[in-house]
Amino acid sequence: MATVTAPRQSKDRVARVARRSLWLMRELPVIPLLVLAMLTFVAIFAPVLAPHSKLDPVKPTQAQCMARYEMANCPYVDNLPPFWLPQSSFSVPLGTDYLGRDILSRLMYGARISLVVALIGTLAAGVIGTWLGVLAGYLGGWWDQIIMRITDAWLTLPSLVFAILLSSVRGPGLWNVVLILTLVFWSRYARIVRGGVLGLREQDFVKLAEINGVKKRRIIWRHIIPNVMNTVMVVFSLQIGVAVIIEASLSFLGVGVPPPEPSWGLMMAQERESLMEGRWWLAVFPGVCITLLVLSANMLGDWLRVRLDPQLRNR
């Protein structure tokens, strides 16, 4: 009989899994996912896709040099307008910046910086924060008191202020920004994960494992961590947007990613004077890029939160 019932069960199982995954995919945020995928693609293949160098000025044509300087040869032409304005050229579709560098290429490499910094920073913070939250929640007692008091104190400072304090000591630098994001953000994971673990600890399957004499380390790895992963993923996706904004803000203030690297925030800071002369696009292009990235990450995060957090599901 077993041989007869087994396939039927597995068929049901397949159907159940399919139904469940279909249900999970309901209202999937397609546009944000597409935007994120596109930005990631551009970031990975920036060296192939970018039409020009990110650091060197674009070699101008003779006509451009004549139009600007009335000379046949010039090293570069700065502040070329984007394609819809007169005097633009299609080899530099979004124009050039104040040093004659191609804006489009710099934006592409900028995606790389934003994504790398935000992803690594948030991931490192997630690993540390989750681990401390699990320790505090599961071990309880003094561990809990010490870790949570430190977390609370850590959370009192607004993240940008905290980041500025650390960057005032570390100075500018890409990896410094990653370190700063890690140091600032771990506490958010710790607080939320600990709350989840406190609930899990009282559940029957954890109690049973304890009664059966399973080692604490094994309980944490097999039962606690897999069950808090949902929460961690929600926090992770919501923190990425914040991390991108913090990186852009630090770079805008001149203590994030140092020039000449093309960070979006830095590009906006460098074009303050162009704004006053009417070249608004120089600040708007990077700003739109930041907004698109953060907006998509936030929408994905909101969707995940509604999907993965049962208390919010029916709102």
Q: Which is nearer to other proteins, 278 or 310 (CB)?
A: 278
Residue entry with tokens 């044509």: 61
String of contacts with other proteins for each residue 61-90, x by CB under 8 A = ------------------------------
Closest approach, Cβ 149 to other proteins, in A, equals 6
124 touches other proteins by CB under 8 A: no
Q: How far is the CB of 219 from other proteins (least distance, A)?
A: 29
- Cβ atoms 182, 265 nearer than 8 A: no
Gap between the Cα atoms of 313 and 53, Å rounded = 47
Residue 102 main-chain phi, psi, to 5 deg: -75, 120
| Sequence-separated contacts (24+) of 146-154 with Cβ below 8 Å | 147/190, 147/194, 148/190, 148/191, 148/194, 151/187, 151/190, 151/191, 151/194, 152/191, 154/186, 154/187
Q: Write the interaction track for other proteins spanning residues 220-259; mark x where CB under 8 A is met and - where it is not.
A: ---------------------x---x--xx--xxxx----
**Residue 92 pairs with which residues in a beta bridge?**
89
Contacting other proteins within 268-307 (CB under 8 A): 268, 275-276, 278, 280, 283-284, 287, 290-291, 294-295, 298-299, 302
Shortest Cβ 290–other proteins spacing (Å): 6
**Do 159 and 246 meet the contact criterion of CB atoms below 8 Å apart?**
yes
**Separation CA 68–CA 25 (nearest Å):** 55
Stretch 148-177 residues interacting with other proteins (CB under 8 A): 149-150, 152-154, 156-158, 160-162, 164-171
**Which residues bind to other proteins, rule: CB under 8 A?**
149-150, 152-154, 156-158, 160-162, 164-171, 179, 183, 241, 245, 248-249, 252-255, 265, 268, 275-276, 278, 280, 283-284, 287, 290-291, 294-295, 298-299, 302, 315
